[in-house]
Amino acid sequence: MTVPTVRLTPDNATIDAQLGLLAELNGTWHGQGFNLVARPDFEDTANTFLQLDLTRETLEFDPISSAIPNRGFAQPDIELFGLTYLQQITDATTGGALHIEPGIWITQPATSNPPLTPPPAGQIVARMGNIPHGNSLLAEGAATPFSGPPVISPGANPIGGGSPAFSAFPSFNSTPILPLGSPIFAGGNAEATSKPGGGFSQYTLTNAASPANPRTPLGNLPEVLPPGITQDLVNDPILLLQRTIQDQIAQGYSFTGTALNISTQASVTFNTRPIVLPATPTSPTVTVSLPQFGGGTENLAFLQTNATTALVYATFWIETLTHPTQPTFMQLQYAQMVLLNFPAITIPGKPNLSWPHVSVATLRRTFG
């Protein structure tokens, strides 16, 4: 069809219908989470500073009230529909600023050129985001409905068993990847047991933070690691989401919703089980490749040399929680993996590694 030149704003019901599975994002969400990022440590020449934060977050979505025309040449015009968002994250202990990100989520119809179709009962979606460090991302993917406990794999032990339910990605593990381009480690993989010599000491919390072992809480006020940050959480941040869902299951809640799976590249390879030396020096792998995945990242020239963002993938679970006697409410959970590439300066030859930046959170839609 040809998109009209004049675009008039329709009524709210029409806007919601056009957004489809993205419609429930509309509103303001507040909640808590966990953030882990390995970043260069130029001053202490110790490869990396491992920053660990319990977080507070506000995430606001506003529908775009008119269609977004994409003019066609290889095929007829299409219309996109979407929401703008603003994400703001602070450290829950210190109140310090951690992250701010304006962006847009959009949904698009199937196309013939390029040939692209949504999954059954789903939609093609994409997220565009900008981060003040000097990064921009376009992550493409799909929205699909689900019914059942999100995050917790069906038939698995709720804590620490299997891949996150309704996620396209088996793992959001925090272990650095060597060499660059190796499979991402399986959920629950521990740096201390999977690398010769115990790996990078910052990832083992029994090693006290120090200038030779730079990690939060070094330099923070107060200089105390929050008790909620445990070794299990560092090894598998998905546990924070699973524990929330486990508690809600015990209270009698049921779950339906939409899973949004997005990535900046078309395929990502994962190990399927944790590596524990010397018993299991290797692990089988699985490659996640979906036709809707793709996009990319762009980085400031400074970041291209010092800590470039190479990959972003994420799952968002938009959840409706119902209870036999309690009010229904909306919950938004997400897990996001970002790979930052920079050298391991204490290793001869200074090889590049991919250092994970993992963020997870549970938010509730709130008034205002």
DSSP-assigned letters across all residues of 178-223: SSTTPPBPPTT--HHHHSGGGS-GGG-TTSPPBTTB-BTTTT-SS-
pTM value > 0.85: yes
**How far out from the chain centre does Cα 92 lie?**
19
pLDDT at 10 over 90: no
What are the extents of the domains in the chain? Answer: 30-366
Indicate the pLDDT class of residue 154, thresholds 50, 70 and 90: confident
Tell me the β-bridge partners of 353.
Answer: 342
d(CA 158, CA 178): 30
Could you give the residue ranges of the DSSP H alpha helices within the chain?
12-19, 191-194, 231-235, 238-250, 301-306
Is residue 121 within 8 A of residue 242, CB to CB? The reply is no
Predicted pLDDT of residue 303? 87
Q: Is the dihedral of CA 315, 320, 323, 328 positive or negative?
A: positive
d(CA 49, CA 41): 5
Q: Which is nearest to 290 in space by CA: 118, 165, 130?
A: 118
d(CA 280, CA 275): 5
Is residue 262 within 8 A of residue 125, CB to CB? The reply is yes
Predicted pLDDT of residue 322? 98
Indicate the pLDDT class of residue 1, thresholds 50, 70 and 90: low
Phi, psi of 124 (to 5 degrees): -85, 130
Predicted pLDDT of residue 41? 81
DSSP three-state, residue 21: helix
Q: For 329-348, what is each residue's pLDDT tens digit?
A: 999 999 999 999 988 876 76
Q: For 110-136, what is each residue's pLDDT tens digit?
A: 999 999 999 999 999 999 999 999 999
What tokens appear for 265 in the block? Answer: 């590249």
d(CA 242, CA 196): 30
d(CA 94, CA 282): 40
